[in-house]
Each structure stands twice: as C-alpha cells, then as structure tokens.
Structure 1
Amino acid sequence: MTALTTAPSARAKAGRERSLLDLVLRARELSILGVLVVLVAVTAAINPGFLSAQGVEDIFLNASILALLAIGQTFVVITRNIDLSVGSVVGLVAFVTGDLVSAQGGSMTLAILAGLAIGGACGLVNGLLVSLCGVPALVVTLGTLYVIQGLDHFVAHGRQINAADVPQALLDLGSGNVLGVPYLPMIAVLVMLAVGYYLRSYPSGREFYAIGSSPEAARLAGVPIRRRVLTAYVVSGLLAGAGGVLWLARFGTVIADNAHGWELKVVSAVVVGGVAIVGGVGTVYGAALGALLLTTIGSVLVVLKVNSFWQDALIGALLLLAISVDRLLALRMTRILRRRNARHAT
C-alpha cells in the first residue's frame, strides 16, 4: 500500500514543481515582450518613422540570424554547457559557401548543404571534446573559436565575396518574401516552433533539461548524457551553419571577419531570454525574444543617434541583470518548494 501511494505522491510533487517552473518561464517571456513593446512605443513616439514598413522589416531581418543562433545555443546552455564558437562558424560558412558558389557557379542547394556540413562538423568536434573527452566547454569552444577564425582568414587570404558573384536565387532567399512576409523571419519562426515542440513534448527533449537540472540525477535515471550533449553541440553547429548561409544570402558581400564577436551577442540573447546559464531552465521562445530585443535596442540607438558604444554597454548591463534575476528566481523557487514540501510532510 505504501509503495502504491508513494509513486502518485512523487508524480504529484513533480507536477507541482513543473507547474511552478512553467509559470516562472511564462512570466519571464511576457516581461521581455512587455519591455519590447514599451521600447518600440517610446521610440515611435520620439521618431514616428521608426515604425515604417521598411524599418520593421529591417528589425525582423536583422534579428532572424541572431535568433537562429540563439535557438541552437539554447540546446547547449540547458545542458550546463556553452558554445562560444558560433560566431566564427557563421563567418567561416558565409565565406566558404560564397567562395564555393561564386567560383564553381553552384546553386543555392549546394550552398545550403555545404553550410550545414561545415557547421555540423564544427559542432561535432566541439561535442566530442566536451562529451567524450570531458574537456570543459568554455575551454573547448574558446579554442575552436580561434581555430575557426584562423581557418577563415587562411581561406579568405584578404579576399572578399561580392554580391554580383552570388547566385540570384540565394540572394532572393535573403531579401525575398511570401505575401509580404520575408523568408528569413519565417525560417527562424519555423525552426523555433519545431525545436520548442521537440524539447517540450518528447521524452528525449526533456532529457536535455534533466541533464542541466542535475547531471548526477539524470545519470542515475539512465539518461544518455554524453549522447545528448553531443547532440546539443551538433544542433548548435548545424544552426550556425544555416546562419552562415543566411548571412551570405542577406548581405551578399562577405569578408573573413563576418559575425566577429557574435558569440557574446548570442549568449546574451539566450540569457536575457530567460535561459539559465547554469542549465535546466529556459525555452527557445524566450531566447528568440531575447534576440529580437537586443536587435531592437540596436536599431533604437541608431534611430536616436546614440553612440554605438552604449549598445555594447547596454547589452552587458542586460546580461548582468538577467543573470542576477535568474539567481534570485532560483533562490525564491527553492524557498517556495521547501515550504510546500514541509507543509505536505506535516
């Protein structure tokens, strides 16, 4: 009788904790959306041209690639790891695929396949070193960041890819639209919905959160930790590769330093979006909103003619604030759960 009553009790406890966590995550995402609305409203009141059709389209186009990278980074961060190489992967993929299609007269399909292959290979190397060799993720991805940057400069050798040499179909991917909706935001939204549904609805998706919440408990529960961490890095690499192809499609002209420093923007978007840097908490929806918020802030500062230095300073401040809020929320949730458990025990 005791065994029969214990199992439902444990499931009920897990359900209560999950409901509380879902409530906190929804609150974080709604707060980001609220800040975004207020920011846009205030800026539009100062400069009505900010909400022109072209201005809004530019914001979503510029946010699309960052959101795509943030979605991949979310996979990694929820497992208590980090990928600092994504910006370098975008730069390498953008130049190599541009060089490939311009020199060989290749097609958009060739560019996409090549970009995914390069990005996936970079993610695989990171994942193998972290999951199988046990090297700290910060060390691994910081090292591969510089290796990939060096490889990018070696391949470029001071050259530049011009938009005139890129297939028109690929350029249309970066500037075209369907019924007035640009392709790039559509791609980012579709990837976000697919990844978000997988992480929430599939047992294997929830295992990523289990690893981040408690690696030891996940191991005892039979979760294949190494395989999941490796998968997270491969997904991050694939989306970074896709981001590199979309970068080429969006801008046409590519040099070796493209997306330089974007790794910090991606991490900032993820953390500001409510994904805990210590793992186990967050959603791809919040990460995408974080990317949109950072992009909007950049556009607002340009419209208001504020020095670009303040953009980096503001992003840094938001990152510190988000980490502090995550810590306070974690402590608050711990106290709430302890009080609930104490009441149920009595």
Structure 2
Amino acid sequence: MSTAVPDETSAVEAPGSGGTRLVDRVLAMRELAILVVFLVMIAVTQAANSRFLSVQGVKDLLLNATILVLVATGQSLVVITRNVDLSVGSTLGISAFAAGTWLHGGGDPVVAVLLAVLLGVGTGLLNGLLVSLGQVPALVVTLGTLYIIRGADSVWVGSRQITAADLPGGFVDFGSGGLSAVPWLALIALAVPAATAYYLKHYGGGRELYALGSDPEAARLAGIPVRRRLLAAYTCCGGLAGLAGALYLARFGNVDSGTGTGYELTVVSAVVVGGVAFTGGSGSVYGAALGALLLTSVNSVLPALGVSSVWVLAIDGVLLLLAIAVDRIVALRVSAALRKKAALRRTTMAKEKAGA
C-alpha cells in the first residue's frame, strides 16, 4: 500500500489511480463549493444590510471564526486517522482558565499562552496513550476524558470567574487588535492550518496519517508506526485546543467553569462539513478551516438579516447531514471506480496472456 497521498486525499490506491483522482476532484469541488456558499451568503447579507461588511463587521466575522478554525485544524488530524477527540471543548475551557489564573497573578502573557498549550498537549497525550496503547475506541476514551477534564475544571474553578479587568491591558488589546479589518488572531488562525497542510503534504509522517485512516491494518503491515502516529495526532489536537483556550481568553476576556461546554460538537460539525471524512483517510485542513468559517458566519449572518438565532443549530444540522450524504456518495463513486479499474486490468491481462 502506498503512503504517498497527493493533495492530502485518501490513500485509496497508488498515486495516479482512477479512485484517487476521483477523490482529488471531488474534494477540490467540495472545498470550492463551501467557499462559494460562504461568499454568496456574505453577498446576500451585505445586499440586505449595507453595514454588514464594515471594517468592524469584517473584523468580527474573522474573530468569530478564529477559535473554531484552530480547534478544527487539530481535530482534522485525528479524524483523518479514523478517530475522534470529543474532549477538545473541555481542554479549551480548562486551558483558558489556567492562562487566566496565571495572568491574574501577574504572570507574563507569553508564559500564559505556553502554559495553556502545554496543558492541552498533556490532555492530548493522555487521549493518545489510551487510544493507541490501550486499544480502547476513541469515542469511548475521549467521551470519558471530556467528563474527567470538565469535572476537574468545575472543581478547580468553582464559582470563580476571570474577567477582562483581571487581565493585562496588552493581552486584551491583542485579542481585539489587528491590521485594520484583519485581527492578529485571524493571522494566527491562518498560519496554523497553512503550516499543518504543508506538513501533511510534504512530510512522510503527515502522509502516513492518511494511510492509517484509509486502512489501519494495511498501514501496520506496511511498517507505519501506527501508535506513534496516533499519539502525534492526538497530541497536536490537544495542543491546538490549548492554544485556542488562550486565544479565547484574549478574545473574550471572560472565562468560567462553563467555558467550552458543547464546543466539541461544533468542532466535529466544522470538520465534517469541511470535507474530512469521518471514516478517515481523506480530507484537508483547509476544508476543515472553511467549514469552521462557514458555521461561525451563520451566527453573524442570521442576526444581520433579522432572523432569530434559534435557527443556527438547525442550519448547522442540515449542513452536517448534507456533508455526510456527500461523503457517502463519494465513497460509493470511488468504490465503483476502483472495481471498474480492477475489472479493466483483469481483462487487459487476460488478453495479453491469450495473445502470448
């Protein structure tokens, strides 16, 4: 089995196979379709509300997507391996409070961010060890760690709350500042998926994540260090959730025991809507980032159009179901293409033998 996965897509067969080319085309169209839907949605909203794309409006639109883009990038690494991390919301919450506690005590902002990232790496490492070494289903493991981390967070935080008044002014200003309509946080959210996508495409460890997600048993037989790759994916996911927690604190300046509750479902929705197949082995972090941008934009668009925000969850659910349906159709088309290719190969070999 080949581990070279061009353009961050499924390692279905050797590079250049009909199945792989089909997946490449479909995923490219999927990401393009998400971008088109996003642009049309923004254009319609601007036409109905001329103040929507003001400098502050664009800034808010980008800021709203920042946190979800970061966590979705980490989640996509795990989903590509045919696993999931449901503890990212809890990790974000406890990391944000840890950073806030450090800053409230007069600590350095850079150290606060590093503390949040290290805490996230620790939770990701725990998940990765339980899944890779314990051979426990990822859904069960991360559901358990979700409650463990949330419980620890609730005991630690209690009724306390970190507010903007408890934080250094420069830290809060960084969370809302930027270059005109482009926030600093949005630049970070752009750099992280770009760096992750580069790693997945150009480094063997990244390509092996796709091979692992496509067929775990074949990956083991091919000599891929499956446990190490799973551990790396979960650790990166936890680290990015921790980073997102620190940036959440800078963005909102307010953290309590409920921070991040239910966030894991939004993250999974963003990843799946963005084209990362829940069955593993295909998708891209760019798609996950676009899915996050689309879902968070719905929250801004509806109020601007005068539509009740209660429709947000319903729309998110519809988008998720559509994404799952598309994934199923793609899987069937790829399977049919591979069967057709195999039949053609057998026919060609039979003719060659008959001619000999």
TM class, shorter-length: over 0.9
Q: Which residue of 1 aligns with 2:27?
A: 25
Displacement, 1:95? 1.1
The residue correspondences of 1:146-295 to structure 2 (distance < 5 A) are 146-178=147-179, 181-295=182-296
Unaligned runs of 5+ in 2: 1-11, 348-356
Indicate if the aligned counterparts of 1:107 and 1:167 stay in contact, CA closer than 8 A.
no
Residue 172 of structure 1 and its aligned partner are, at CA, apart by 2.6
CA–CA separation in structure 1 for the residues paired with 2:277 and 2:66: 22
Contact map agreement 2:164 2:253 (CA 8 A) in 1? yes
Measured against aligned partners, the alpha-carbon deviations of 1:1-20 in whole angstroms (never above 9, x if no partner) come to: xxxxxxxxxx9953224333
Alignment of 1:71-110 (within 5 A): 71-103=73-105, 105-110=106-111
Number of residue equivalences: 335
TM superposition shift of 1:161: 0.6
Query: Scaled by the length of structure 2, what TM-score is found?
Result: 0.91
Task: Tell me what 2:345 maps to.
Answer: 344
Offset, 1:256: 1.3
CA separation in 2, counterparts of 1:166 and 1:241?
Answer: 18
Give the whole-Å Cα distance in 2 for the aligned partners of 1:42 and 1:178. 26
C-alpha RMSD of the superposition:
1.5
Q: Report the counterpart of residue 304 of structure 2 in structure 1.
A: 303
Structure 2: distance between partners of 1:256 and 1:302: 27
When structure 1 is superposed on structure 2, of 29-38 and 306-315 the one drifting more is 306-315
Letter of the aligned partner of 1:224 in structure 2?
P
Q: Is the helix fraction higher in 1 or 2?
A: 1
* 1:320 counterpart residue number: 321
Q: Distance in 1 between matches of 2:184 and 2:51?
A: 24
Aligned match of 1:50 in 45, 52, 57? 52
Distance (Å, rounded) in 2 between the aligned partners of 1:177 and 1:38: 26
Aligned to 1:61: 63
Is the Cα–Cα contact under 8 Å of residues 117 and 240 in structure 2 kept in the other structure?
yes
Paired with 1:345 and 1:23, the residues of 2 have a C-alpha distance of: 26
For 2:26 and 2:303, the matched residues in 1 are separated by: 33
Partner deviation per Cα, 1:297-323 (whole Å, 9 max, x = no partner): 111112123222211111111111111
Report SS of the residue matched to 2:40.
helix
C-alpha change, 1:123 and 1:13, in structure 2 (3 Å) is closer
Q: Does the 8 Å CA contact 1:162/1:252 hold for their aligned counterparts? A: yes
Percent identity of the aligned residues?
56
Report the equivalent of 1:3: none
Give the 3 Å change call, closer, same or farther, for CA 60–12 of structure 1 in structure 2: closer
> Contact (CA 8 Å) 2:55, 2:180: kept in 1 or not?
no
Contact 1:274–1:286 (8 Å) recurs in 2: yes
Q: Deviations over 1:202-235 (max 9, x none)?
A: 1111000001100011011001111101111000
